[in-house]
Amino acid sequence: MLSLQTRSALTKETSSLNRKYIRLTQILATVVLSFIIAPAAMSEGIYKWVDDNGKIHYGSQRPEDADAEKMKLHVPEPASKPESQKEAEEENLEGDQKKEATLEDHADQEKANKERSAYCAKERKRLQTVQKNKQIHQKDASGKVSKLSSEARNKRLNKIKANISKYCK
């Protein structure tokens, strides 16, 4: 069982949270209503009047029992016209496509670099193997193993070196 002090503390915390929640709800409702009401008020016009107590009021409808003055509001024109907006959207689309193409090119370039790096590592290993071994055996298409002549070995060695110098920097 909870002690009286613990219950009191929990009640205070809960009460505080409830007040914060209610306040947040009120603020949110005010913001939402202002977004709903504002366009309607702007389209009809805004009226200003003073009541019998001297208090100033504003409203979207002219009051029947008071002398109201219609407010002159300046509503700015849109920054861009629809045609220029379409052009801007097309430019943004083209820019996005260029960015995507650049990203794809970058990804392709990165992939090519990785493949080149793997190829170079493989060729360097082949070079070490051919340099280390004076006699090289190879399998033909039928699976028959034969010894490579020294002339064929030197051609292979030169070809590997040429590939490394050409593709691996």
Q: What is the pLDDT of residue 83?
A: 61
Given a cut of 60, is residue 41 above it in pLDDT?
A: no
3-state helix, strand, coil in the chain (%, to 5): 65, 10, 25
How far apart, in whole angstroms, are the C-alpha atoms of residue 60 and residue 47? Answer: 6
Rounded percentage of the chain residues whose pLDDT exceeds 70: 75
Q: What is the pLDDT of residue 85?
A: 63
Q: What is the pLDDT of residue 158?
A: 92
Residue-wise pLDDT tens digits, 88-132: 667 666 766 777 777 777 788 888 888 888 888 999 998 898 888
Given a cut of 60, is residue 54 above it in pLDDT?
A: yes
Name the most confidently modeled range: 20-34, 72-86, 145-159: 145-159
